Amino acid sequence: MGTLNIVLVEPQIPQNTGNISRTCAVTGARLHLVGPMGFTITDRQLKRAGLDYWDLLDVTLYDSLPEFFEKNAGPFYYFTTKGQRCYSDVAYPDGAYLVFGREDRGLPEPLLFANKEACVRLPMLVHPHARSLNLSNTVAIAAYEALRQWDFEGLKEAGELTAFDWADDPGAQETEGGSAKG
Q: Where in the chain are the domains?
A: 5-179
7, β-bridge pairs: 32, 99
C-beta separation of 41 from 61 below 8 A: yes
d(CA 68, CA 52): 27
Q: What is the pLDDT of residues 105-129, one digit of tens each?
A: 999 999 999 999 999 999 998 777 7
Does the annotation list 101 as a binding residue?
yes
Residue 151's pLDDT is 95
pTM: 0.87
Residue 181's pLDDT is 46
**Nearest CA-CA partner of 69 in 9, 117, 119, 136:** 9
* Superfamily grouping for domain 5-179: SPOUT methyltransferase, trefoil knot domain (3.40.1280.10)
Q: What is the pLDDT of residues 113-169, one digit of tens each?
A: 999 999 999 999 877 777 889 999 999 999 999 999 999 999 998 999 999 998 987
